[in-house]
Amino acid sequence: MFSAKHATREIGIVIFEDFQLLDAAGPISVFEMPTRGMQSAPYCLTVYSLRGGLVRSSSGAAMDSVALPPDLAPDTLVVSGGEGTRSAMSDTALLDAIRDISGRTRRTTSVCSGTFVLAAAGLLDGRRATTHWRRCDALARTYPDVCVEADRIFVQDGKFWTSAGITAGIDLALALVEDDLGEEVARRAARELVVHQRRHGGQSQFSVMQDVRLASGRFDGLIGWIQANLSDDLRVDQMAAEAGMSPRNFARVFRSETGTTPARFVEKLRLEAARQRVETSALPLQQVARATGFGDPERMRVAFLRAYGQPPMVLRRQRRP
């Protein structure tokens, strides 16, 4: 909990031409929330750009900024992303400034494709990082020394925090507030922003329901039933009976509707549910395996290796620095 004895933390947000407006405005709004109702403000926010003045975002709306001073030493540096990162990555003056300032910060962070700017400055070599799912492959190709974790909302590696696309900057900023001021302050900030569910860094950028192709709402009820009964056997004939169809016809129509087989769909749901429990709780792996239908930890471990390339315990360790 923040108190008057704590010094105000300086937050510097870096923008550039064609930045994504929400990449800056989202974290700014999060850091604003804890200052309300406090006698001593926990944060002081300043928006910076290389030369200062109005900076046009990719939407056409502009944001005012202060020129980056050579001796800037904020507590936390936040580098926004957006279409303008493609030019920012080759702006040597901007990269030099970010590299220099980062050497004096307690935390250096990025939102969405702002990760490319940190990588271009050489700050992420040998570190784990993430960015918008659409640009993760490009990040890995362009900067092979960066360990890209594509399936993450945000990633912390030491003092460096990187986040996925756009709204993930809000999740990142809430995590930074929690890191500074505690869980209750972060929870209050989320409520003020009407963020109903604060996502943790280990949570996937994707979900099974986003990944499948639902041609109609025909199996909506069945899918809800599957999600509520993951610990059951869930054979094809069992699901077919729940759908009121013959097993053969059910398997054919389900694949046509979703683009995947019933068995594969169930495994994806189990993996998603198990991974969330592994990364966001301290539940024993045996309990997680039983609750999500894998039955035993070894079967779950094999499924994790096949899907994620890492066993559950490694993913659990990676959720914290």
The letter for the amino acid at 182 is: G
Q: Does residue 159 lie in a domain region?
A: yes
Instruction: Mark whether 152 and 48 lie in a shared domain.
Output: yes
Contact predicate 12/76, CB 8 Å: yes
Separation of alpha carbons 212 and 214, rounded Å? 6
Q: Does residue 198 lie in a domain region?
A: no
Q: Which of 215, 224, 222 is nearest to 255 (CA)?
A: 215
Q: Helix, strand, coil proportions of the chain in percent (round to 5)?
A: 45, 15, 40
Instruction: Mark whether 163 and 251 lie in a shared domain.
Output: no
Q: Does residue 2 lie in a domain region?
A: no
Instruction: Mark whether 159 and 13 lie in a shared domain.
Output: yes
**The one catalytic residue among 44, 112, 136, 147:** 112
Structure confidence at residue 3 (pLDDT):
42
Which pair of tokens denotes residue 117?
A: 């700017």
Q: Does residue 104 lie in a domain region?
A: yes
Q: Does residue 70 lie in a domain region?
A: yes
**Phi/psi at 239 (nearest 5 deg)?**
-70, -40
Last residue of a domain, one of 166, 192, 218: 192
- To the nearest 10 degrees (0 to 180), the angle between helices 236-243 and 220-228 is 130
Work out whether the CA dihedral 16, 17, 23, 24 comes out positive or negative: positive
Contacts of 269 (CB under 8 A, 6+ apart): 208, 226, 227, 230
Instruction: Mark whether 37 and 167 lie in a shared domain.
Output: yes
The burial class, CB within 10 Å (0-12 / 13-18 / 19+), for 174 is buried
Structure confidence at residue 185 (pLDDT):
87
Q: Does residue 258 lie in a domain region?
A: yes
Last residue of a domain, one of 160, 192, 224: 192
Q: The domain spanning residue 290 has which CATH number? A: 1.10.10.60
Instruction: Mark whether 128 and 158 lie in a shared domain.
Output: yes
Separation of alpha carbons 232 and 294, rounded Å? 9
Structure confidence at residue 32 (pLDDT):
92
Instruction: Mark whether 95 and 183 lie in a shared domain.
Output: yes
Helix, strand counts (H, E) of the chain: 15, 11
Structure confidence at residue 213 (pLDDT):
55
Q: Residue for token digits 């709402």?
A: 217
Domain containing 146: what range? 9-192
Q: Residue for token digits 């969330």?
A: 276
Contact predicate 298/278, CB 8 Å: no
Instruction: Mark whether 15 and 124 lie in a shared domain.
Output: yes
Q: Does residue 308 lie in a domain region?
A: yes
Instruction: Mark whether 222 and 185 lie in a shared domain.
Output: no
Instruction: Mark whether 27 and 167 lie in a shared domain.
Output: yes
pLDDT in tens, 217-244: 778 888 889 988 999 989 999 999 999 9
Structure confidence at residue 5 (pLDDT):
44
Q: Does residue 38 lie in a domain region?
A: yes
Last residue of a domain, one of 135, 157, 192: 192
Instruction: Mark whether 235 and 160 lie in a shared domain.
Output: no
| Helix runs in the chain, H state only | 21-32, 85-88, 92-102, 114-120, 136-142, 168-181, 183-192, 208-211, 220-228, 236-243, 247-258, 262-280, 285-291, 297-308, 312-318
Q: Over its length of 321 residues, how does the chain's per-residue pLDDT go in tens digits?
A: 334 345 789 999 999 999 999 999 999 999 999 877 666 789 999 999 999 999 999 999 999 999 999 899 999 999 999 999 999 999 999 999 999 999 999 999 999 999 999 999 999 999 999 998 888 889 999 999 999 887 778 888 999 999 987 788 898 999 899 889 888 888 888 888 877 545 554 555 555 655 565 656 778 888 889 988 999 989 999 999 999 999 999 999 998 888 889 998 999 889 888 988 887 788 999 999 999 999 999 999 999 888 777 789 887 876 544
Instruction: Mark whether 50 and 167 lie in a shared domain.
Output: yes
Q: CB 190: neighbour CB atoms within 10 A?
A: 20
Task: Examine the residue annotation and report whether 112 is marked as an active-site residue of this protein.
Answer: yes
- pTM (predicted TM-score): 0.67
- Domain total for the chain? 2
pLDDT in tens, 79-138: 999 999 999 999 999 999 999 999 999 999 999 999 999 999 999 999 999 998 888 889
Instruction: Mark whether 227 and 183 lie in a shared domain.
Output: no
